Amino acid sequence: MTHWIEKYTPLRVLPKRIQAADYNRIRLGLLHERLPWHLRLEDFRTMRIILDEHVWVCADEMQNGRPVLAWTAFRTLEREALNTPVECELRLYHIHAGLLMGSVLEALVEGIEEHGKKDRQGRAPVSELKLTRVNLQKPH
């Protein structure tokens, strides 16, 4: 089955390497959530992250959920160990997507890490993610 992101043509496709710690945190977060997992980036106002097992998409809600950027084609089978980076493709769908890619991934990793801490401590419901810099939330 073709993923929904395939109906959009990226402006550019770049080879990307995600640090092992970042990739592993996101993958662990995915194991505990119903997929696809929708997260809102409050600092980016209209941006939403949609995570599933194969694709991580940053989409613009003001453009009917049109993708801005997406991490795809994760080459996990080529990993020698859990502490090695993961190669993937970064697809850019918007002319300014390159300006967002680093801060979106950083916010996503921080949000999922904070969410995991709160979930383990039993203080926050699964749907709540709060950070001082970024607030990611699952839709209700």
Per-residue pLDDT of the chain (140 residues; tens, 9 = 90+): 678 999 999 999 999 999 999 999 999 889 888 899 998 877 777 889 999 999 999 999 999 999 999 999 999 998 889 999 999 999 999 998 988 888 899 888 888 887 777 666 654 444 444 333 334 444 44
Work out the widest C-alpha separation in the chain, in whole angstroms. 43
3-state secondary structure of 112: helix
d(CA 80, CA 9): 32
Residue type for position 18: I
Q: What's the predicted TM-score (pTM) here?
A: 0.80
d(CA 25, CA 27): 6
pLDDT at 137: 44
